[in-house]
A and B are shown apart, each in its own frame.
Chain A
Amino acid sequence: MRAMKKRKNRTYLLLSMCIFMLLTAAKDPVITVYLIGDSTVCDQDIKRYPVTGWGTPFADYLMNNVQVKNHAKGGRSTRTFIEENRWQPVADSLKAGDYVLVQFGHNDEAKEPQYAARYTSVPDYKRNLIRFINETRAKNAYPILVTPVSRRVFKLGKAQETHVAYTAAVIELGKEFQVPVIDLDRKSRLLYDQLGELKSKRLFMELDSAEHPIYPLGRSDNTHFNDYGARIIAEIVLNEIKVQQLPLANHVVNSHK
């Protein structure tokens, strides 16, 4: 008799646990934020540390019910990202309510002969971005365009625009297709100007030979961010999401404070 009661109790317990799990799962659907882009966004190999893409710290500030999948990859343009079959798996796995943040340009615009394999003309760049927009929307997911984060180039004490035509193309598409645009190119340049020519170096992979064992010869790089710079850039993206009141803002930690 007692054994039966015990068994019954256990069944109830199991049943209520199942119901509880189902309820919480239904109440809190997990959304996924996909990042597609280049080396300034991607998760970097630990063997290259402290170089850091802004997507890495970005993920730290989203709530636990959000999954961030950083598909960005160093050296990729919109064209090579598609050609290497990096986009299709993202498009295939998108669910309604997911987000895709798109930041390309650094490699699309590379005109030097050694970068011919990645170069993408502006019209092709736009066509590829339109594909990302359309295929994201087809899955009832939300595209967000990000203009390419600025390189650090100073002239007469002023930060220079380094992605002119490609940034303009992103902004144009944003208007045409009513896609939110985070103008990271402009925002990052404002930051470099604010910090000034010397202090803004602190954001980038500027190391002397005595600093980090992974770079025994030092490093001088005005394109790629270090751990600190990547976080500062991620903060800009997170703040723009909030300022533009994009629905994704609800998934940023402390967004209601």
Chain B
Amino acid sequence: MKTKTCRLQLLTALMLTAIAWLSFKPAQQVIHIYLAGDSTMADKAKSARPEMGWGTRMTDFFDSTVVVVNKAQNGRSTKSFMAEGKWKEIIDVASAGDYVLIQFGHNDEVITKAAYTTEKDFQQNLLQMVKDVRNKKALPVLITPAARRKFDSLGHVVDTHLVYAELVRKVAKRNQVVLIDLAKDSQELLATFGEEESKLLFNHLKPGQNPNYPDGKTDDTHFNEFGARKMAQLVLKALRKSYADLDQRVVKSSWTK
């Protein structure tokens, strides 16, 4: 009789402990996703709308345990991003468990630009960035540059980042860095839209259509809000596959059809 009561008491105590442990499980740590890159990723001034970088749309995907910090800037290459101290701003604050998404190439690869970075320097800079992130116990993610809208005479998408995208892949492979091949994924997306309809993703505006661009605009590099969202969706898809932790922090929604 006595042992039975004892056993019951013990069982109750164990159960209570279990419940207490479950309910006092520490809340998920808040993490940051830092974005380092160029204009195709950057937040834009109001006067540039509807142009939009895909980094702007990354903020919509996660629950309150993720803070997206978009440090990408128009016109920047790995070289100028580092030289201007923008990279340091990220590294100074990044800490264990944070992610740093790195997408460069658009400006590195243009010889006529001041931001031009040689192939050798481009790889070195990417590697330096990876090392800096890892030193902070944060997670680097290398991203190949989002596609420009260019089709050949047969209606096939032309790869406009051939060399520099390949360099990103090379650095990622050699140093076991998670790679998001946005160059490839976005080219596939452009192919499904086709030459004509893919204009809907870029900052293409007829004269008089949009008050910010009275003379219209034909820009096959920079996205509008639609293209920015599509690019961000591609990046998210790849991120979820590579990181179970991030996948769990994606916003839960019960919206139905």
Contact = CB atoms under 8 A, between A and B. Distances in A.
B106 interface: no
A257 B200 CA distance: 25
A61 B255 CA distance: 31
Given A227-B226, A228-B224, A254 B214 contact: yes
A46 B253 contact: no
A38 B47 CA distance: 27
Interface string B200-211: 100000001111
A115 to B, nearest CB: 18
Interface string A184-228: 000000000000000100100000001111111111100000111
A211 B200 CA distance: 17
Contacts of A238: 211
Interface string B153-183: 0000000000000000000000000000000
Interface in B72-94: none
Contacts of A252: 211
A57 B49 CA distance: 9
Interface in B226-257: 226, 229, 233, 236-237, 250-251, 253, 255-257
Contacts, number: 72
B91 to A, nearest CB: 29
Interface residues of B, number: 27
B46 interface: yes
B251 A214 contact: yes
Given A202-B200, A215-B255, A218-B257, A231 B225 contact: yes
B152 interface: no
Contact of B236 (A213, A254, A257): A213
A239 B50 CA distance: 16
B212 interface: yes
Contact of B225 (A217, A218, A228, A235): A228
A253 B211 contact: yes
Contacts of B225: 227-228, 231
A211 B253 contact: no
Interface residues of A, number: 33
Contact of B211 (A214, A228, A254): A254
Q: Which of B197, B212, B226, B255 has the most CB of A within 10 A?
A: B255
Contact of B255 (A46, A216, A239, A257): A216
Given A61-B211, A253-B212, A210 B253 contact: no
A212 B58 CA distance: 11
A217 B257 contact: yes
A255 B60 CA distance: 32
A253 B47 contact: yes
B255 A49 contact: no
A107 B50 CA distance: 30
A48 interface: yes
Nearest to A213: B250
A217 B255 contact: yes
A214 B212 contact: no
A100 to B, nearest CB: 21
B251 A60 contact: no
A238 B210 CA distance: 8
Interface of A: 46-50, 57, 60-61, 199, 202, 210-220, 226-228, 231, 235, 238-239, 252-255, 257
Given A202-B197, A212-B233, A214-B255, 10 more contacts: A46-B60, A47-B253, A49-B60, A50-B229, A57-B49, A227-B225, A239-B209, A253-B211, A254-B214, A257-B214
Interface of B: 46-47, 49-50, 60-61, 197, 200, 208-212, 214, 224-226, 229, 233, 236-237, 250-251, 253, 255-257
9 contacts: A50-B229, A212-B229, A219-B257, A220-B257, A235-B210, A239-B208, A239-B209, A253-B47, A255-B211
| Closest CB pairs A-B (n = 8) | A228-B226, A257-B214, A61-B211, A227-B225, A214-B253, A253-B211, A213-B250, A49-B60
